[in-house]
Amino acid sequence: MTKQRVDRALDLCRANGKINTVMLYFIISAPGEREQDRLAIADYARDVRARLGRDDAKVIVKLHQFMPKPGTPTQRFAMTDPDVVTGYGHEIRDRLRTLVGDDDFEAHYRVEYGETSRMHLEVVCSRGDRRVGHVLEDLYDQGVDMATLTKAQLVAALERHGLDYDRHLRHMDEPILPWHLLNVVPREAEDALARKLAARAAAA
């Protein structure tokens, strides 16, 4: 979704005259991302409210963590620990508050992020093998509420089954993936994207 296309949609909202609330979705913590990329989200949220041209305009910023998905060119990429990503959310929220002031922030903006329990689970479930099923069963048998699962609880459960949480965050160099039978992405496409993102980060 290009910025130009989103801006065009916002102009249509303004011309309509009846739309006063916009929700913006952003993926953060992707490979090659720089601090200024994340903080620019706050600047754009401020500009979006101005573009709507209404005193009662509200902007909701919804932040999602980058997760490499099986069957995509990013499937081998490293992930950022969800606890770190929550810190990124704090930074974006605080920058937006600084840009617009406390009163305007409270009245016209909302920044949503921090689903860390779900994201910690997704880290291992999206890249693990069948042993993760035993870990989930273990947590269930202990009566752990998955909605409030802590990283410490998950790490302990993984260790009981000989698994390492941090290993699921790494770049996956193995030629055979846990979902290899279903993989349709050429390795050349993965490597080309990885090189492009590495060059972007190096140029920062």
DSSP 108-145: HEEEE---HHHHHHHHHHTT--THHHHHHHHHHHTT--
Which pLDDT belongs to residue 174? 86
Query: In the prediction, which pLDDT does 198 show?
Result: 84
Task: Give CA–CA dist 86/91, Å, rounded.
Answer: 9
Stated as kind and residue range, the H or E segment containing 27 is strand 21-28
pLDDT for position 9: 95
- Residue ranges in the chain whose pLDDT is less than 50: none
What φ, ψ does residue 129 adopt, rounded to 5°?
-105, -165
Query: Distance between CA atoms of 132 and 20, rounded to whole angstroms?
Result: 45
Specify the pTM. Answer: 0.90
pLDDT at position 199, please? Answer: 86
